[in-house]
């Protein structure tokens, strides 16, 4: 019997270490939290997506009285991006979240369904999606969505 060890490199940095472009992406994700519709959880999530050609789109979580009908910010922006620009590869996803006390101290990480959808996006375009997770106390940067989903279910 063997034990498989699966690891991922996650860069942790602070806002001042980002370049100008990255700071703009973070701002876009933070701004998107204000467009969240989250009356049930009170948890506002914003996501920005960078497509080739430096196109930046945003989305936010959209909730519903029938809870499962809501949608996370990450998939909202990803499906929006892919339906607007099906031929443009996705280069980065940036996520920020806020509750009643403002932006979270620690980064918020995408749920399992969002990871699966992101992974398919990488496979579809044959290009890694860099993920930035914003928190006031630090920012995580993951170089590929695949690192967020070990032993992922891939195409069959
Ligand atoms: N949510 C997101 O939009 N993205 C995440 O990565 C985690 C959770 C949303 C779903 C729901 O509207 C609210 O946050 C509370 O779970």
Residue 122 falls in the annotated catalytic set: no
| CA 135 to centroid of ligand 1, rounded, Å | 15
pTM, to two decimals? 0.96
Answer whether residue 155 shows pLDDT above 90: no
**Closest by alpha carbon to 129, among 111, 99, 149?**
149
**Closest by alpha carbon to 114, among 141, 135, 139, 95?**
95
pLDDT tens-digit readout, 12-58: 999 999 999 999 999 999 999 999 999 999 999 999 999 999 999 99
Q: How much is the mean pLDDT over the chain? A: 96
Torsion of CA 70, 131, 80, 128, to 10 degrees: -130
Pairwise CA distance, residues 91 & 138, whole Å: 21
Question: What is the C-alpha R_g of the chain?
Answer: 15
Phi, psi of 90 (to 5 degrees): -90, 130
pLDDT tens-digit readout, 45-56: 999 999 999 999
What pLDDT, on the 0 to 100 scale, is given for residue 154?
80
What pLDDT, on the 0 to 100 scale, is given for residue 156?
64
DSSP code for 108: P
* Ligand 1 environment, Cβ below 6 A: 38, 41, 43, 45, 61, 63, 70, 72-74, 108, 110-111, 114
Mean pLDDT confidence for 126-140: 97
Answer whether residue 77 shows pLDDT above 80: yes
Q: From 33, 37, 45, give the residue whose CB has the most ligand 1 atoms within 8 Å, as the site to mutate.
A: 45
Q: Which atom of ligand 1 is nearest to the CA of 111?
A: 6
Three-state DSSP at 95 gives: strand
Answer whether residue 89 shows pLDDT above 70: yes
| CA 43 to centroid of ligand 1, rounded, Å | 7
**Closest by alpha carbon to 78, among 41, 106, 117?**
117
- Where do the domains of the chain lie, and which CATH numbers do they carry? 14-148 (3.40.140.10)
């Amino acid at each position: 019997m063997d034990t498989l060890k699966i690891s991922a490199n996650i860069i942790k940095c602070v806002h001042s270490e980002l370049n100008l472009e990255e700071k703009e992406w973070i701002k876009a994700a933070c701004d998107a939290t204000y467009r969240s519709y989250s009356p049930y959880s009170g948890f506002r999530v914003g996501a920005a997506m960078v497509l080739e050609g430096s196109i930046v789109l945003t989305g936010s979580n959209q909730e519903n009285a029938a809870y499962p009908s809501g949608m996370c910010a990450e998939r909202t922006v990803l499906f929006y991006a892919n339906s607007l620009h099906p031929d443009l590869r996705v280069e980065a996803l940036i996520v920020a979240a806020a509750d009643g006390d403002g932006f979270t101290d620690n980064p918020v990480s995408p749920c399992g369904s969002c990871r699966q959808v992101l992974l398919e996006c990488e496979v579809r375009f044959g290009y890694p999606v860099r993920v930035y997770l914003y928190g006031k106390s630090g920012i995580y940067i993951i170089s590929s969505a695949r690192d967020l989903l070990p032993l992922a279910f891939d195409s069959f």
